[in-house]
Amino acid sequence: MAAPRARIFFIVIMHLGLAACASGFQALYDYDRSHDFSDHTSWAWISDHPMTVGELASMPNPLLEPRLMSAIESNLQTKGFNKVEDPASADFIVSFTVGSREKISVDTYPTYYGGYGMPGRWGGAYYGMGYGMGYGTDTQVRQYTKGVLAVDIFDGAEKAPMWHGVAEKSISDSDRKNAEETIDAAVSAVMKGFPPESS
């Protein structure tokens, strides 16, 4: 397990790790620093349906769970972990949570305006060309969806949490159209910190 761990980029900031983004996903990690990750070789899902649904902006796609399971399995296999069917015989147990929220962003920018006035007549008197200028504000309101994927890993023997990772991103129309690519990017980002570099 030494070689895979050496490839993991992990920075601890206030007991949380901030990972580099993968296709726009930002990830945070936390883990039990007293736990020894070095002897873990096997894992299992917490149940046949390991996905928990958090707050969602719309009904979840029924294809989401199997796609996420496949991506996480592939990620762990690449790192050298072996999947077993019986959680009781696994070194660690995996579950994950998905969620999304509709959010509104309000941005206000300073604006500049200026212009010239043409000659005219008022009350029998003439006035000439003038120039006016000033500053104002321009407010832009934008609605977007924030998607979240959280992965929780538990020690198989102690049944205690040992690692937590979460990735989030503002979901675009392109992300929705390319669902499998988006899922792979989310899993890649959130699993980048497992196992911890210091383990």
Q: What contacts 86, CB < 8 A, 6 or more positions away?
A: 44
The kind and range of the H/E element at 38 are none
Higher pLDDT, 141 or 172: 172
Q: What is the mean pLDDT of residues 31-46?
A: 95
Q: Which alpha helices (DSSP H) does 9-97 contain, by range?
A: 64-78
Chain region(s) in the chain for CATH 3.30.160.670: 2-105+146-191
DSSP, collapsed to helix, strand or coil, labels residue 156 as coil
pLDDT at position 134 over 80: no
pLDDT digits (tens, 9 = 90+) for 94-127: 999 998 765 454 445 666 555 555 454 444 544 4
pLDDT the model gives residue 65: 94
pLDDT the model gives residue 174: 81
pLDDT the model gives residue 133: 57
Query: What is the residue-averaged pLDDT of the chain?
Result: 76
pLDDT at position 141 over 80: no
pLDDT at position 199 over 60: no
The model carries a pTM of: 0.68
How far is the C-alpha of 57 from the C-alpha of 35, rounded, in Å? Answer: 36
The kind and range of the H/E element at 176 are helix 173-177
Q: Which alpha helices (DSSP H) does 1-154 contain, by range?
A: 2-6, 64-78
Beta pairing class for 16-18 and 42-45: unpaired
pLDDT at position 59 over 90: no
Of 56-60, 118-122, 166-170, 180-184, least confident by mean pLDDT is: 118-122
- Residues 159-190, buried b or exposed e (16+ Cβ, 10 A)? eeebbbbbbbbebeeebeeeeeebbbbbbbbb
pLDDT the model gives residue 105: 43
| Domain at 2-105+146-191: CATH architecture | 2-Layer Sandwich (3.30)
